[in-house]
Amino acid sequence: MLKALSIFTGNANRALAEEVCKFVEIPLGRADVTHFSDGEIYVEIGENVRGVNCFVVQPTCSPPNQGLMELLIMIDALTRASAGSIVAIIPYFGYARQDRKSKPRTPITAKLVAHLITAAGADRALAMDLHAGQSQGCFDLPFDHLFAMPVLIDELRALGYGGEDTVVISPDAGGVERARAFSKRLGSTLAIIDKRRAAANVSEVMNIVGDVRNKKAVIVDDIIDTAGTLTNAATAIMGAGASQVAACASHAVFSGKAVQRISDSPLSHVVVTNTIPLSDAGQACSKVRVKSVGRLLGEAIKRIHHGDSISSLFM
């Protein structure tokens, strides 16, 4: 007999969780996620979850520490309420960029956060577009890695990108595999930006490896944070003769002056998903287009609940 299904969320991205529930055709689970007067987080699950398959939809976006603690405490509350299984659905996995020792005496925080999620009582985890795919190895539990590429590509095609007159650009060497996947599906050529700094406190020089002349360029990345590198790359691409330049990314962190930089840049469009809720400034920016991953997450939840394969979603 199939167990019951419940979906819960904290305060990080309630709108996305509600959209997922609408697709799955169940109401959002009742959970009170508040704070004590000293700032400590308090969680109370408002319904019976004994033996129920529970999914917690919670990105660890800004403020990341609050989002993470809400996720951990909700998982612990469900564990102590005898939930049948607990799956952490993390649309944006914070601390993912700290996935290795970049300098001596620095932490690998991505692994620490993965261990915290396991220790809290999660039985399974799912995330979208990790900064580095190998971060899945940080988790000592079943882990599913979804990609927003199908959603982003549909929007790029709707905007007129694709074919031989389009070039897909990786903003750095580490993103070449991602850019190549977009390029293949769009039937476009590929280029790479090689960033070099001659000396300390000297501006980066961006060399473009590949032909962008008279082409529509699309910069593909997983995260847009401060948008400094992105907007500098867009300027360099236009300077190299591109007819127009756009960008797409799964996670719109948009910290600091990111939205202002995008507004002032030559970028025609910036396509992102709703793994992270946009600020008021982000919503007001005419260049930013948001596509939803609610249906994608909802389908993954349904398949996990029914014990079906979700490999077809890894595209």
| Residue numbers annotated as active site | 195
CA distance 240 to 217: 11
Contact partners, residue 225, CB within 8 Å, separation at least 6: 253, 254, 255, 258
42 burial level (CB within 10 Å; 0-12, 13-18, 19+)? exposed
Q: Specify the 3-state DSSP secondary structure of 183.
A: helix
Contact partners, residue 287, CB within 8 Å, separation at least 6: 262, 263, 267, 268, 269, 270
172 burial level (CB within 10 Å; 0-12, 13-18, 19+)? middle
58 to 64, 72, 163, 176, 312: CA distances (angstroms) = 11, 10, 37, 29, 23
CA distance 117 to 68: 9
The radius of gyration computed from the CA coordinates of the chain, to the nearest angstrom, equals 20
